[in-house]
Structure 1
Amino acid sequence: MTNSQAPAGRIASVDVYRGFVMLLMMAEVLSLQSVSAALPDSKFWQVLAFNQTHVQWTWLSLHDMIQPSFTFLVGVVLPFSIASRKNKGATASSLLGHTLFRSLILILLGFFLRSLGADQTNYTFEDTLTQIGMGYTLLVILGLYSPKVQFSALIIILVGYWLAFALYPLPAAGFDYTATGVPPNWEHNLHGFAAHWNKNTNLAWATDRWFLNLFPRAQPFLFNDGGYSTLSFIPTLGTMILGLLAGGVLKSTQPANVKLKYFIIAGISLILVGIVLHLTNINPIVKRIWTPAWVIFSGGTCFIFLAIFYWLVDIKQFKRPFFFLTVIGMNSIAAYVMADGGLRKYIKSNLYVHLGQHYDQLFGLAYATLVSGALTLFLMWLILYWMHKQKLYIKI
């Protein structure tokens, strides 16, 4: 659905934060890993390349914060969205109807983006939009209740999800790990109690072995190469609830410095709790299966990001320097489709047609992907800027 004008009552820092997140996703076109591979002795490019990839299993890189941040921000803006619809006369039934429709569109859009170039629909449920869509209706229902109810729901989700994994039996002796796409001596395998959250030998993997094979597939589903799973939508809802709690504070009439203090304290506290859970082996920090410790740890990091942008943009009023990010953040769905769909590849390939096959070697072969990627990224931003000038905002 296309909105002809920007929604009223937007929080500038939220748009900037969302723009920052989507820029990280769009910037994959820079392929920093290729630059690092061409310059193996450069620690600088190694660090940048690491933070543009997902970690193999535990902990995180900057790139791993894209999905939780995008998810967290869904919760942040919800109190404003609900209030806006109520002010326009929306009833509880109409609000629920819109919510269900939006959830369905998000799920179907996830299917579509994951099926581009495929011979048949790829029914996969680990896509960011699909994961959000599967929990969004419950989030909106929780948004109608008090923060106390929302926090209670968060605790129930995290403890219940942790318990379900903890009770699922570990692989028996002689288990064929290769059948799950994991070497038996994989360096990232966890040991002891934490082994309940190992790649493709956990409850979520077992569930997908049944659930995903209910859909038409070219080959039976055996495992996800990255270890991602459908059931992650449950703790993903936990991340959205954290955002919902943050959004409630942001929408409140409390002074800005009180809100900022809340974000900082919540962020630091959650990060510390997540680290303790990981180091004590109670629950590892694993983004790919969205462990409860990941919800807590990444949620705390999201609070810190929100605090930084809220301080810079809304308190210090440094809006102009972040205009580049605002343009992206105000059209995040369009930016997401550009980054995850075929437009990015289309633009990049056509640049070679019009500028020549070697234009990207302007600064040497090592920086080729940086040149072509930067130009592609700039052209994608120009499209978003044109939409911004025309007041065209894609909204689901």
Structure 2
Amino acid sequence: MSTATSPLEARPVSVVTLSPTPPAATRLQSLDAYRGLIMVALAFNGFGLAATARNYLKATPDSGFWQAVLHQFEHVEWAGCGFWDLIQPSFMFMVGVSMAYSYLKRQREGHSWSRMFGHAVTRGIILAALGIFLISNSRRTTEWSLMNVLTQIGLGYPFLFLLWGRSLRTHVITAVALLGGVWALYSFFPHAGIDVAKGAPNVGVSASWAQANLADVKPAWHKNANVGHAIDTGLLNVVTRPEPFVFNSGGYQSINFIPSLATMLFGLMCGEMLRSGRTPRRKFVLLVLAGIGGLAAGTVLGWMGVPLVKRIWTPSWALYSTGWCCLILAALYAIIDLRQWRAWSFPLLVVGMNSIAIYSMGMMLRGWTAKTFQTHLGDDVFKVFGANQAPMVQATAVGLVFWLVCWWMYRRKIFLRI
């Protein structure tokens, strides 16, 4: 995610007061819960578990438990997958699922195709602009970067709309073309790769990092030495910048929006299936099968030399991460929509129905909120359970403040949408 971090459902930016909350029967409540689950993870900053794990590993570096926690709650360095790496694919996937419902509703309200397309283009522009605005927070000048999750969604959203309402066959062919085209773009780029033994310090890749993370990776997929990096060094220097763009420290690329469009398309396909006339049990089974198929396809591509790299959204990553998204949604669908066990999901729904609001708070107010706690309760307020647990206490306290704001908005039927 760049760093992961966004949502989302869309409609022109407005703060609206709704009379009753839309009845459960008109919404896919499991999707709201899924969105809420991801937003809680982000707003609570992973409950500070990554920083807490690092604290414990300083004293006990061989602790398998804390190594596992750290792996799940921070992005992997390059190839591989942990829970934290599934945040951005979940956003992308849910955008597609939501589209299957939202534009059908607009169509039934009498909106013409051209009006809906104009709305999709507007939404894409607003999301991209909001992403740039949020990542520029606290910086001296505008950060013209296209790697943020909101910006990536915005770039792909109008193209996703063009696929809305098309046949399953068209969707499958388009997904194959997108991922196959990305594979070809990377694989046949003539100047890819670095000397793993020496690294490439000029693009932020040290020799030790390269040897630890790129030894088994083909040159086409090397960090900051691939076609995506080459495009960005030209594209991102078109705008006036205080300093020329040389490389992205995380290895993220602007053209990630192309393969991530396939992730959104997979979500659209799942959304169309979920709103079909199939029985709920059949829908659950299809989601599970799609999840298993995505995991298997991504893994096989990885064995064939296309590594699972979220930071450049490799085709194998698009398939593998979609598999996990399908399984997560399937589990929530089975519990909430199939079994009707809904009461437990209320804390997630509060956030899931105001994802833009809590995402923006997390991006802009996390540091300020933590500092305010310390101003009024003392610098050691987060060390109540000891220094090692301080990151966990801080992240939970700050996240709870954001959740309470969303709860207040929910009770007053105020929903911020794009």
Which residue matches 1:2?
15
Counterpart contact for 1:190–1:197, Cα < 8 Å: no
Find the aligned partners of 2:307 and 2:383 in 1 and give their Cα distance.
Answer: 43
* 1:171-320 equivalences in 2 (<5 Å): 171=193, 177-184=200-207, 186=210, 187-191=212-216, 194-281=218-305, 283-320=306-343
Runs (4+) of structure 1 exceeding 6 A deviation are 172-176
Supply the AA of the counterpart residue of 1:205: H
SS of the counterpart of 1:308?
Answer: helix
Find the aligned partners of 2:397 and 2:207 in 1 and give their Cα distance.
Answer: 43
* 1:1-396 equivalences in 2 (<5 Å): 1-5=14-18, 6=21, 9-28=26-45, 30-40=47-57, 41=60, 42-169=63-190, 170-171=192-193, 177-184=200-207, 186=210, 187-191=212-216, 194-281=218-305, 283-339=306-362, 341-396=363-418
Q: Give the TM-score normalised by the residue count of structure 1.
A: 0.95
Task: Flag the 1:365–1:88 CA change in 2: closer, same or farther, 3 A.
Answer: same
List alignment gaps of at least 5 residues for structure 2.
Answer: 1-13
Find the aligned partners of 2:400 and 2:263 in 1 and give their Cα distance.
Answer: 31
Supply the AA of the counterpart residue of 1:57: W
Q: Give the TM-score normalised by the residue count of structure 2.
A: 0.91
SS of the counterpart of 1:39?
Answer: helix
Find the aligned partners of 2:107 and 2:415 in 1 and give their Cα distance.
Answer: 21
Q: CA deviation at 1:176?
A: 7.2
Find the aligned partners of 1:156 and 1:239 in 2 and give their Cα distance.
Answer: 13
SS of the counterpart of 1:322?
Answer: helix
What is the aligned-residue identity percentage? 34
Q: CA deviation at 1:375?
A: 1.4
Q: CA deviation at 1:240?
A: 0.1
Supply the AA of the counterpart residue of 1:366: N
Find the aligned partners of 1:195 and 1:172 in 2 and give their Cα distance.
Answer: 7
Deviations 1:150-185 (A, max 9, x none): 111111101011011110023487997221111245
- Size of the alignment, in residue pairs? 393
Counterpart contact for 1:29–1:377, Cα < 8 Å: no
Task: Flag the 1:29–1:52 CA change in 2: closer, same or farther, 3 A.
Answer: closer
Deviations 1:264-287 (A, max 9, x none): 111101101111111221x11100
